[in-house]
Structure 1
């Protein structure tokens, strides 16, 4: 009979906390706890973790399977290591699958949301960021110690853009879709390598590239004729309709994947159960699944209503709507109405934060948290704004962008049952004069920074909070080895033994990570982990590339 202790290896090895520690021993205040006592303790910390022996590369290594909803291991702070300002290495084998109805989520974290102190490691997907799937299976390792956001960097205007409609990280770069309103202009795609923008061309003749998504190893975009009066601007002189999906095959190389029936604009695309889905921006309402070539299958809509922003959460697609302030849920066959948000006439975007689904809305700039079924709980208004659009979870906290003054806010949840949730303003990003509306329309995370695109200046801005390192390529299906290292004044990330990236430098004493929170495995700041973990190690030493490859050799 397998035990949790054997499945975690000793899968969980917390080493180096005192002199003489050996693999498989769990230490509390220099007292060794091994054997059956350790086994019993670790078992008591777990919930709904399934055990097996189908490890990396066909080995019989013990693995722990997490169901993405309730599976978790929570080790009390008095038992887990106090990392402080010291070097450390987290190493783990992970197994994830593309063709599922859930997202990989959080691998582990020890993070105090009230003080913004600690670390987290996860595989981040961000569907439902207004109209785009902003990130897809990008590994992120971040630390913080209550730092305040620094100055935002203005990365400039993209072409003649008046709107950054969507962004997505693909193949190591950040891609952005624009709206250009001139009669002889068209929506374009630009890519950013961290230093400069490259024009990838206009896939179509219409005025907007409105949705971006990574699917099956490629970047796909949806195009639209955006009606600018919806942002209180003069209508575009461009007469061409959109509604087509294109695949990016290189700069200025775009392959048509078909026109969605009776569709002049595409506002949401998402990957679910290994398939690509897209929805119409304007009437008539339409929702479609991509089959092959240029073929799309209609999947129906809820009660004739448009479905707009699309996300994936716990086995379903969730959709916002512009015909009413509602949320809808799709199981791959049928739609379900999940209720109307109090005071809302439109819903705009989604984020999964600390295992709960959140949605933004118009006209009160509030955010609501799902309470199950048709219950949506008000978690506050963003300043005095009227609309909240993108929601993104970044390095432990949730951020939202607004209209009419294009501000960014951080969500600070209730603490101790006494302090109510609040939203803290961290920036204003558009100062265009003599317009009614300015919008932070879209967001993404790239090279460890939070990016935001705005209307009507058409600029992209970014900021780093804490210190972060990311792998800006989608993690493929199957087993992969991830190693996250804090070494002196920087973070490093390795995937399958290869060095991926490093963070900006920092003063080690500025990032004391010790806090009173438990060590959480399989859940934390984003969603519950969906997949398998094997040979998870936390060692209070900064391992080099050769040592990390040695860990890979014997899971």
Structure 2
């Protein structure tokens, strides 16, 4: 549904006041007041109109502008407008990062405006540039059940947002024909079948998904590693392929990838699509898709390639216990082996310019410091003293906070500070659950942003259809809201884009190039007071440093009209 433009100002403000303007034309000074910024690591480039020196280049690693807190910048409960011209890095060589933020992470209070792509489970963040505008004052909503894509499935393996729609891939089902399918969410717990990746009955899972260069891709395999390794009597796994979605129920085969039995993950880096394979038959290799062929990029250490993630211009890969940086051709350099005694790595994310990893079996979330040391930010899952089976399956930033997805109790946790994580929910359960029985374990397989919500998918440990639980909590997708978020979930590309974020009364609105893209409303009987004493950052926030260029950042007291926004962005 297309958002409707407001017809009148809720608070009767006819002429919003320009509080601050940072042109970023050679410096970080405020052009209308005294809220000058401290620039760190900026260079200057041509602005949106092509004239030299009218925009700041942010390198995605340390560049940012810090504006000291002031009463003028404290948003409180008032209406406001932020506007900026941005140009995201293209092609993607790391997370796109935050446009601006004024946010207290401990109190979960303030504003976030950032660019991020979809991030489906083991696969890296896509190269799609989605814009997310969020405010919060410590509000946590309830979880909404989006339903079950396939009734006989016990594991949603990945969820991805593409062209404003939510897609889910599944593993096993009651028959091979029902398995290995992708579904599109239609609202009100309805899911539309987008087809099976292939007709081969010995391929039972959508193993991985990724949006790359404007297209949706899926990698095949068998999530159940017993079947994937040929150890299940009567089952012979097939070699794996990657497929490109063609619409409807059609998928185009991009060919066999190496000799593996599972495409463990995919990644987008520097304009190319990468795929990581399993150990054993796959040899733990990484492949790059170039000119219709899959090019062998070598094996980091021969174990499962669990994740691929670009950070700061370098492609990173994690295997069962180690982290590697890609050096080109078939060269990989280890930057961490079994840190803090872990032996598997199942998720990676860039947070605040640093690499974070989610691990097994202790459930540690580790952060790589600039010194090369690894910091343990906390242990998640079931406590010490029980059978160790905590696996951090995904890490995702949503509205200024980092969230983690876990097995064995299908939990979602939120990071507060080192050593302090908050358990948010458990989305699946079994009455026969035991920590020493993997058949009873429950997963949150992945986290992803969609429609202003944080979405989470559930699954069983092995993904077998017969492992469905009595309460039917497995193989489902859920969503919840922290604060108030509206998002533009179409790729804005690598050119100049005008972004405007507005709060007016209980409503927030996001405009892209002068057009209203998204609207959200505060929960009933809830007022968000955004007052905090943290600095206002341009080009930096919880996700990470911005990679690209920013120009003409403006802050208004009051809500600009739709016509005013169109004029500000150069529209007629």
Q: Please, which of 442, 466, 476 is the counterpart of residue 493 of structure 2?
A: 476
- How far apart are residue 505 of structure 1 and its match? 3.2
CA distance, structure 1, for counterparts of residue 115 and residue 182 of structure 2: 26
Structure 1 residues 501, 237: closer, same or farther in 2, change over 3 A?
farther
Q: Is the 8 A contact 2:393 2:406 kept in 1?
A: yes
- How far apart are residue 57 of structure 1 and its match? 4.5
- Name the counterpart of 1:279: 276
CA distance, structure 1, for counterparts of residue 345 and residue 553 of structure 2: 40
- Name the counterpart of 1:12: none
User: What secondary structure is seen at the aligned counterpart in 2 of 1:476?
Assistant: coil
Q: Please, which of 444, 453, 457 is the counterpart of residue 440 of structure 1?
A: 444
- Name the counterpart of 1:326: 322
User: What secondary structure is seen at the aligned counterpart in 2 of 1:146?
Assistant: strand
CA RMSD of aligned residues (A): 2.7
Q: Please, which of 194, 206, 211 is the counterpart of residue 200 of structure 1?
A: 194
CA distance, structure 1, for counterparts of residue 112 and residue 132 of structure 2: 8
Q: Is the 8 A contact 2:288 2:297 kept in 1?
A: yes
Q: Please, which of 175, 180, 183 is the counterpart of residue 167 of structure 2?
A: 175
User: What secondary structure is seen at the aligned counterpart in 1 of 2:551?
Assistant: strand
- How far apart are residue 369 of structure 1 and its match? 0.6
- Structure 1's consecutive aligned runs of 4 or more residues displaced over 6 angstroms after TM superposition are 19-26, 33-37
- Name the counterpart of 1:350: 348
Structure 1 residues 35, 56: closer, same or farther in 2, change over 3 A?
closer
CA distance, structure 1, for counterparts of residue 16 and residue 563 of structure 2: 23
Normalised TM-score (structure 2): 0.84
- How far apart are residue 194 of structure 1 and its match? 3.9
Structure 1 residues 497, 378: closer, same or farther in 2, change over 3 A?
same
Within 5 A, what are the aligned runs for 1:58-137? Answer: 58-59=50-51, 62-78=54-70, 81-125=73-117, 127=119, 129-131=121-123, 133=125, 136-137=128-129
Structure 1 residues 23, 517: closer, same or farther in 2, change over 3 A?
closer
Structure 1 residues 187, 86: closer, same or farther in 2, change over 3 A?
same
Pair 1:152-2:148 in alignment: no
CA distance, structure 2, for counterparts of residue 356 and residue 120 of structure 1: 19
User: What secondary structure is seen at the aligned counterpart in 2 of 1:550?
Assistant: helix
- Name the counterpart of 1:369: 367
What residue ranges of structure 1 are gaps of 5+ in the alignment?
Answer: 1-16, 27-32, 415-420
Structure 1 residues 530, 132: closer, same or farther in 2, change over 3 A?
closer
Pair 1:187-2:187 in alignment: no
What residue ranges of structure 2 are gaps of 5+ in the alignment?
Answer: 1-12, 23-28, 384-389, 433-438, 461-473
- Name the counterpart of 1:255: 252
CA distance, structure 1, for counterparts of residue 125 and residue 102 of structure 2: 27
- How far apart are residue 356 of structure 1 and its match? 2.3
Normalised TM-score (structure 1): 0.87
CA distance, structure 1, for counterparts of residue 517 and residue 31 of structure 2: 37
- How far apart are residue 373 of structure 1 and its match? 6.1
CA distance, structure 2, for counterparts of residue 508 and residue 156 of structure 1: 28
- Name the counterpart of 1:306: 304
CA distance, structure 2, for counterparts of residue 509 and residue 227 of structure 1: 45
Pair 1:222-2:228 in alignment: no
CA distance, structure 1, for counterparts of residue 428 and residue 194 of structure 2: 25
- Name the counterpart of 1:13: none
CA distance, structure 2, for counterparts of residue 150 and residue 528 of structure 1: 28
Structure 1 residues 351, 25: closer, same or farther in 2, change over 3 A?
closer
Structure 1 residues 182, 507: closer, same or farther in 2, change over 3 A?
closer
